[in-house]
Amino acid sequence: MHIARQNDDGTPDYHGWPDRYGFLASNQHVFDPVGGPSDDLCVFDATNPPSHCTPASLAMILSEDVPLRNVLDHPPQPVTAPLFLEAADSSFTAIDFVPDSFVSGSVQSGALLYILEGDLGFSAANSGSDEVGHEVKVVNFLDSEDGLVSLNISRFAKNNTSDQAFITGAHGLNRPTDLRFGPDGCAWVVDWGAVRDPGQSGPDTKVKNAADGPLPQIPGTGTVFRICRSGQ
């Protein structure tokens, strides 16, 4: 998450994209490509895990794209660091500040909610068994005695499976992509539904019929969730 500010001349500030991911330059080895079906140079080969690329195409990826090269010759202005980072592949898709009528319990005045759509199964999971994504989170801004502001980030709504709800037949979050507070004071979350994927991050969501791949959406599973404070 990044707080954007305008420069004195009206131009936006710069947070480093595309040559900086969060706090690190994109040519750091942690970002080195390792192949995989989503790499445009990968020629798919199911018999060659974990990259699932033919040996020749994997060799090309490792020789041509490691390390990643900068797109820009130099930063156009000093880089503004982010407030915080989310896990890789969590897919930060929407954010909104809560109205006072929504404040209760873990949600304090001035807080915001944001949603993570989750990964699409093109690479191995990056966050362990408690997969990041398919959820709503809350950020509370806390004043400290020294005048600085600290952040408290916690989970607000998520499936017990820690993945898409359709896996267990539950009626929960699958692919939340937008969140807005309405005039009723409730949070409205748009979820485009259950999706099967290549299964690299977990076998439960893997495409059953390869001919339907790579991302078949299950019809009739799109949902609009209305989340209100208890008693509304």
The pLDDT > 90 percentage for the chain reads: 38
pLDDT at site 126: 62
Q: Read off the pTM.
A: 0.80
Residues 172/165, Cβ–Cβ less than 8 Å = yes
The pLDDT > 70 percentage for the chain reads: 96
Residue 214: pLDDT band (50, 70, 90) is confident
Residues 131/163, Cβ–Cβ less than 8 Å = yes
Residue 232 confidence (pLDDT) above 70: no
Which of residues 129 and 35 earns the better pLDDT score? Answer: 35
Residues 153/145, Cβ–Cβ less than 8 Å = no
Distance separating alpha carbons of residues 196 and 55, to the nearest angstrom: 27
pLDDT at site 96: 97
211 in helix, strand or coil? helix
CA angle, residues 213, 225, 1, in degrees to nearest 5: 75
pLDDT at site 182: 97
Neighbours of 208 (CB within 10 A): 9
Domain edges within the chain: 86-232
Give the pLDDT confidence of 70-101 residue by residue, as tens digits. Answer: 999 998 898 988 888 888 788 999 999 999 99
105: buried, middle or exposed (CB in 10 Å: 19+, 13-18, 0-12)?
exposed
Give the pLDDT confidence of 143-199 residue by residue, as tens digits. Answer: 877 878 889 999 999 988 778 888 888 889 999 999 999 999 999 999 999 999 887
Q: Please, how many CA atoms are within 13 Å of residue 99, restricted to the half-sphere of its CB?
A: 13
pLDDT at site 125: 66
pLDDT at site 129: 59
Token pair, residue 30, equals 């942690």
Closest by Cα among 153, 41, 30, 139 to 88: 30
Residues 58, 60, 61, 63, CA torsion sign: positive
Closest by Cα among 185, 181, 177 to 223: 177
